[in-house]
Amino acid sequence: MKPAILTKKRAWLFALPALAALAAAFSTGAVADAQTERGKYLVSLGGCNDCHTPGYFLGKPDFEHRLSGSEVGFELPGLGVFHGPNLTPDKETGIGNWTAQEIAAAIRTGARPDGRELAPIMPWRGLSVLTDADALAIAAYLKSLPPVKNKVPGPFGPTETPTSFVMKIVPPAAK
């Protein structure tokens, strides 16, 4: 009978490392899920859906294609028309080729990975105060979205004609 007990004890000893690895995997998943949920919360609170979700400015947001880019652009006097781009991880029309660090940097500095400035309407100056953890949480959430192939119009320079709906920012009349 003693050999059977030793065998069971040995089985537990061999199983412990596997159980520990499994627990660690679930723990890491829970941390990732918490980070993604934090990012989702910050995106919601920050109003990102307003400019980056189709239909939002037309009163019928298409949350099936959340953050995949807007069909309505902003006209800024003297600068042109800018559409909220696709923030899903689609590699052709979205930010699928950007790393989490590049997304976080763009949110906080107003510069894309290729060095181009984000559209002037993007409130990166306000978002520049985000902590590293919060900026990376937003990046984790954006990377968790299903990729949506959606190329938004533009940008259009001040002398170009937009091909879609435009919201105009109209300066006050001179006195």
Q: Which pLDDT value is given to residue 81?
A: 94
> How many helices (H) does the chain have, and how many strands (E)?
5, 3
At residue 12 the predicted structure's pLDDT band, cuts being 50, 70 and 90, is very low
| Residue pLDDT, tens place only, 19-69 | 444 444 444 456 669 999 999 999 999 999 999 999 999 999 999 999 999
Question: Are 150 and 83 a contacting pair, CB within 8 Å?
Answer: no
State the pLDDT at residue 102. 98
pLDDT over 70, % of the chain: 82
Show the domain range for 114.
1-175
Using pLDDT thresholds of 50, 70 and 90, give the confidence band for residue 3.
low
Instruction: Give the chain's largest Cα–Cα span.
Output: 101
The pLDDT of 148-169, averaged and rounded, is 92
Q: For residues 25 and 139, which has the higher predicted lDDT (pLDDT)?
A: 139
Q: What is the pLDDT of residue 171?
A: 78
Q: How confident is the model at residue 144 (pLDDT cuts 50, 70, 90)?
A: very high
pLDDT of residue 23: 45
- Name the percent of the chain lying above pLDDT 90: 73
Helix/strand/coil percent split, the chain, to 5: 45, 10, 45
Give the per-residue pLDDT at 168: 85
Which positions ≥6 away from 63 have C-beta within 8 Å? 49, 53
By three-state DSSP, how is residue 152 classified? coil
Domain total for the chain? 1
User: In angstroms, rounded to a whole number, what is the distance separating the alpha carbons of residues 49 and 36?
Assistant: 16
Report whether pLDDT(9) > 70: no
Asked if the model's pLDDT at residue 173 lies above 50, the reply is yes
Answer yes or no: is pLDDT of 16 > 90: no
